[in-house]
Amino acid sequence: MNTHYTKTAKALHWTIAVMIFGLIGLGFYMHNLPISPSKLKLYSWHKWAGISVFVLALIRVLWRLNHNAPGLPSTMAAAQRAAAHLGHLALYALMFAIPISGWMMSSAKGFQTVWFGLLPLPDLVSRDKVLGDQLLALHQWLNITLIALLAVHILAALKHHIIDRDDILKRMLPRFNVHL
CATH code at position 133 = 1.20.950.20
Number of folded domains that form the chain:
1
pLDDT at 3: 78
Strands 119-120 and 114-115: antiparallel
Specify if 144 maps to a domain.
yes
Task: Tell me the residue range of the domain where 36 lies.
Answer: 7-70+78-172
Specify if 60 maps to a domain.
yes
156, pLDDT greater than 60: yes
41-100 pLDDT, tens digit per residue, is 999 999 999 999 999 999 999 999 999 999 888 889 999 999 999 999 999 999 999 999
Which has more pLDDT, 117 or 98? 98
Specify if 2 maps to a domain.
no
